[in-house]
Chain A
């Protein structure tokens, strides 16, 4: 057992820290650090800066623009990025469809999509969930029927995050209604400007608009937009969802949020109950961070450590707990969330309740925390 980072990893860490804190505009990082909402442009700008330096998709295969980093280096990259307030590369592009295309697509499809995906020239949306297909995703009903060279798609997707910005959407569609649930599904890439495709906003409890419904009415999709083989979509979906879980523990971001909470607390930090709450959270976060380090240290052969579900589960719980702490620190000032633009209430306090409400999502998406418990119970404990 060895405690410190090797000199090499330490140098790597400093290199990352240096890059993130000097090359990404302060204004973008402040937006993240202060918990304000990023604009589409800010997300795009930031990702392009990272991509130009080879830092947007380091976890992709080297031939597709990735870097041959160790798991620990990837972890450090991710942590430093979050700590510096650099928006993570758009997950739909970098962690979801990119790796799937790198793994399953034809060379031609890769050439067409991967560079644009890494550079966020294409903004991807994830079209998996449907009103009747949530945790039980294989219950999806949106259909794609072959018509000559094309597929004709009909149905409805929901919860499509940032679909209002989307250029393309990767979808799971039912291509064999006769087959057993999982085996009749295919993955299609759909241009969101296609006729018959409509994006409708959903307002969330925080008052924001980050998710949408996506409706398909006789949308024609060229046959070549099928990823992999027909009816093999479930294999790709599982691959994608596996990656989603591994990258989802927001350790760096929660650490930054807790540090900020201490700053915001001001004189409230003299209150023993508040201090105790902070100290308790800090210790839990320390245990989580160390677990993340253990997981990366032990997944050197590429397969994720089984304990990665622990990271998703506890990471999102702590993320929620910290947002709840900040909400409580704000107290009555939190009621001013939708008050006048020039409110005298501090901005952080006004943002605290929407953030707290918004973060309830963290334990629902990316495989809900109940699904993570199921994974632990089944695959780790053998129950």
Chain B
């Protein structure tokens, strides 16, 4: 068991950190970027592309960097730390992840190359309000239904859409942004999402036409869930750092707030939540890196449950310990809490993960993170 990063990973983290801090180190800049369309800083996005960050998880043959979940995690955490609104999770991890997992060799090299270079923005349309169904139409397919919320769905050049197949199962399809009716809006954390209406929208099958991609999609969602956990960890770390700095500097009753032990203890409990979450999220990332889909699915649910609990705890306490200032839109901490809330609900929330995990509780004796099966029945 080894939780430490190697030199290359440290170098990647430092490079991303310095780049995003240059852009968003001052929170005012983040406010400006998220106030204007498309909701993020396009020059930063280009710089990330130049650094290879947008192609990080994809195979080198497909135009990517051939890195793994740990590297994705490092990037997500750095973006989370400064609350960068860039669509790394939406476009690279989710949509790109789906293309990488399900696409044909041609689709992969065409689309992932364009995504990695920053030329095209992809979005995954999965959550839906009116079920999307696919039907064959001539050589291709056509899709009908409504997807919402689709992260960065209005800005995306190309949508990766999940849809019910005529013979059952879930297919993945590519729809040009111009062939969908998209209504974009701001999410409450300053991000971007859209309603995407598809009316007989022309679509191309991603991967083998008609194949059920449900398992592949589940794997993509599990990986994205972990990236979201890392983004949340970055945010929680920043929230705690801001809170401790504030307690040391804010004066009331003639003294700084850290004179009051009740407040220090609450900060200490935030630290406890943070460390426990880091442990389980890092572990789940290592599980994901082993490439075993069943284990990765469960590990990501476990990490997400813990992250959900910690995100609520740290986010709420960060606001409380700051007092009124944290309620203002121009202050970092309240915005982190809003973003943590979005991340929680994005890919299955705490209640849902707990629901999944509790069904299996009677099937094993104890959890064992060091055992490849994760379950132990040996402690007699």
Contacts and interface: CB of A to CB of B under 8 A. Distances in A.
A262 B375 CA distance: 14
B103 to A, nearest CB: 28
A56 to B, nearest CB: 21
A262 B275 CA distance: 27
Contacts of A310: 271-272, 275-276
Interface string A1-22: 1111100000001000100010
B36 interface: no
A84 interface: yes
Contact of A5 (B1, B355, B358): B1
A200 interface: no
A289 B306 CA distance: 13
Interface in B55-84: 70
A204 interface: no
Contacts of A2: 1-2, 286
A366 to B, nearest CB: 16
B247 A262 contact: no
Contact of A287 (B268, B280, B365, B370): B280
Interface string B236-278: 0000100010011000000000100100110111011001111
A380 interface: yes
A256 interface: yes
Nearest to B1: A293
A312 to B, nearest CB: 10
A342 to B, nearest CB: 27
B372 interface: yes
B283 interface: yes
A363 to B, nearest CB: 13
Interface stretch (A123-131, A152-160, A368-376): A368-376
Given A278-B358, A279-B357, A287-B280, A374 B244 contact: no
A321 to B, nearest CB: 14
Interface size class of B (residues with CB under 8 A): 35 or more
Contact of A3 (B248, B287, B306, B365): B287
A290 B276 CA distance: 8
Given A3-B1, A283-B305, A290 B283 contact: yes
Nearest to A257: B366
Contacts of B370: 4-5, 13, 293
A286 B265 contact: no
Interface in A49-73: 72
A241 interface: no
A252 B271 CA distance: 23
A209 interface: no
A21 B358 contact: no
Interface string B283-313: 1011101100000000000100110000000
A133 interface: no
A258 interface: yes
A259 B358 contact: no
Given A1-B285, A374-B261, 15 more contacts: A1-B4, A2-B1, A2-B286, A4-B370, A275-B358, A275-B361, A279-B357, A279-B361, A282-B366, A287-B276, A287-B280, A288-B276, A377-B268, A381-B271, A383-B244
- Return the 6 tightest CB-CB contacts between A and B, nearest first: A290-B279, A377-B264, A279-B358, A3-B286, A376-B268, A373-B268
27 contacts: A1-B3, A1-B286, A2-B1, A2-B2, A3-B283, A4-B372, A13-B370, A84-B379, A256-B366, A258-B366, A275-B359, A275-B362, A278-B358, A279-B354, A282-B361, A287-B279, A287-B306, A288-B279, A290-B283, A293-B1, A294-B278, A298-B3, A372-B268, A377-B264, A378-B264, A381-B268, A383-B258
